[in-house]
Amino acid sequence: MGNLTAHAGISSVWFLPGPDSPYGRRMSQTYEFVVVANRLPVAAETAEDGTITWVRSPGGLVSALEPTLRREPAVWVGWSGRYAPDPYSTGDLGVELEPLPDGVGPCPLVEIELTREEMEGYYEGFSTSTLWPLYHDAIATPVYHRHQWEPYVAVNRRFAEQVAEIAAHGATVWVHDHQLQLVPGMLRERRPDLRIGFFLHIPFPPVELFLQLPWRKEIVQGLLGSDLIGFHTPGGAENFLAVTRRLLDVETDLDSVTVADLSPAGGKRRVGVGAFPISIATGEYEAIARTAEVQDEAASIRAKIGNPKHVLLGVDRLDYTKGIDVRLKAYVELLEDGSIQPGEAVFVQIATPSRENVEDYQKLRDDIELMVGRALGDHGVLGAPPIQYLHQPFTREELVAFYAAADVMLVTPYRDGMNLVAKEYVASRIHDDGALVLSEFTGAAVELDGSFLVNPYDADGVKQAIRDAMAADPEDLRRRMTRMRAQVENHDVDAWAKSFLDALEAPQ
Ligand code: GDG
């Protein structure tokens, strides 16, 4: 591993393809463009017999960055989904992870090795049990544990050290999401020559909530190591600027913060702050939806559930922010009050398994499954259940077939940075039909003018929006869907990445 083993705790697995590969690199090679995220774009799936298969990582980040990676040569730094052996707990010194196999992933990959214990503190602990609920309006109660903050700092430092090692002089580094908010500051200390961008994929909370965080100053200072900090919405950027004004003695204006430059040059440094709403690979979703296979599969899905008049659909990671309970409750009440007649509608909820080691997520699964079970018991009809619940992952083509099969898409989060599912539904509606019921508290609501907007806390409002969506005149739906489709066609993920990277490269 050459000079890399000199850094305790960092073990990098290089992508070592054949001589003709555009991704080939030597150990000493450095990169002009470095993507840094908690997860690599591929993930290890370990079978019971210990064999590992490499699959595409789930979630929006990989889909969001793939088009950019195809255009710009890059390296991706992150965790692989497998645990590093922990010599302290196993007593097994000298055991090393096998290198990542050649050719997995859309670009060269550098693995940050993390032990089970480190992931518990840094990811399941501080990132998922403190930052995630706090940044989503404290829907679940955030916990503030010092023993989880410490591994968060240590793991962020390890990422920063690794990036400092492989970034070329003056390289562009793009750091992603709440798990890595200290990386920009730690990286700037080591490498003031770099151009550092940070993008937050989840909401940034209002001042009153953020101030609960015992390490609030450290987080803000970490982020301010960036040259540009991006949020999904203007509201997120405003919240960040307000927090910065409140906590630090720095100048802010509408789209920047001016901080002291800690490099030898000294003076001041401008940190750009702005809204860069993420999107999807719209053309790819449309192309998939246009295939005969997907249209046939959509018809087959409808047939399998009894060809009801209305198919309603929810697609989410099983997460308490997504408001799966909101739409279930509304749907059940519509069955109860006779707004939906027996056999008239089927609600299909796809809930992709997520964060299954975290207690809040285990409880959520129990709660949702209790609600589904009860609703089926109370309102089930032999051979024609009004709800279909699928706690399993699907391929992208299968998901598009569900989108194509659904008359009404229900997206009802209590809070969501953007929500790509809403945009994917719109992109998949190639016949300009279908209705989108969308929570006001998603980033997507800022853009998708044409949806049936709901306040997820207003149960009657949600019920009414579902009634309106089911009863809407087809011409009204066509006008709404056409507007929304134009939006996602004109603002796809490529445009998102380009606008962020252009702003990052622009002279400050
Ligand atoms: C975070 C923020 C922000 C879901 N199930 C399957 C599957 N998915 C895909 C969807 C979509 C993605 O996962 C989920 O993206 P969302 O945006 O809806 O939600 P988060 O995962 O919470 O994403 C969010 C996003 O980051 C990007 O910045 O929009 O606000 O919370 O693409 O299609 N994909 C496949 N099988 C599944 O079963 N293939």
Residues 198 and 286 in one domain: no
The reply to whether 230 and 325 lie within a common domain is no
Bridge partner list, 179? none
Claim to verify: residue 347 and residue 231 sit in the same structural domain: no
CATH number for position 86: 3.40.50.2000
Residues 302 and 421 in one domain: yes
Q: Whose alpha carbon is nearest atom 27 of ligand 1? A: 60
* Most distant CA atoms of the chain, gap in Å: 75
Quick one: 258 and 311 in the same domain?
no
Q: How confident is the model at residue 6, as a pLDDT?
A: 25
Burial class (CB in 10 A: 0-12, 13-18, 19+), 50: exposed
> What H or E segment, with its residue span, contains residue 417?
none
Q: Give me the domain span that covers residue 294.
A: 282-490
Same domain, 205 and 320: no
**Same domain assignment for residues 273 and 294:** no
- CA-to-CA distance for 442 and 236, rounded, in angstroms? 11
> Tell me, what's the pLDDT at 208?
96
Q: What distance in angstroms lies between residue 25's CA and the mean position of ligand 1's atoms?
A: 32
The pLDDT score that the predictor gives to residue 2 is: 27
One domain, residues 331 and 223: no
363 and 258 fall within a common domain? no
Pocket of ligand 1 (CB under 6 A): 58-60, 63-64, 201-202, 278, 315, 317, 352, 393-396, 399, 416-421, 424
Over the chain (508 residues), the average pLDDT of each successive run of 10 is: 26 34 53 95 85 80 80 90 76 69 85 94 97 97 97 98 97 97 98 97 97 98 98 98 96 95 84 97 96 98 97 96 97 96 95 87 94 94 94 94 98 97 98 98 97 98 98 98 98 94 89
**One domain, residues 305 and 331:** yes
Give the H or E element holding residue 218. helix 216-223
Q: What dihedral angle (degrees, nearest 10) is formed by the CA atoms of 197, 203, 204, 208?
A: 180
pLDDT given at position 11:
29
- Residue 55: other Cβ atoms inside 10 A: 13
Q: Whose CA is nearest to atom 23 of ligand 1?
A: 60
Residue located nearest, by CA, to atom 34 of ligand 1: 396
At 28 the pLDDT is: 64
Would you state the pLDDT for residue 241?
98
Return the residue whose CA atom lies nearest to atom 8 of ligand 1: 59
In the chain, how many domains are there?
2
The answer to whether residues 292 and 271 belong to one domain is no
Ligand 1, atom 13, lies closest to the CA of 59
Best substitution site from 276, 317, 364, 394 to test ligand 1's pocket, by max atoms within 8 Å of Cβ?
A: 317
Cα(463) to centroid(ligand 1), Å: 25
**CA dist 312 → 108, 302, 467 (Å):** 41, 11, 11
- Residue 183 and residue 245 in one domain: yes
What is the predicted pLDDT for the residue at 223?
A: 98
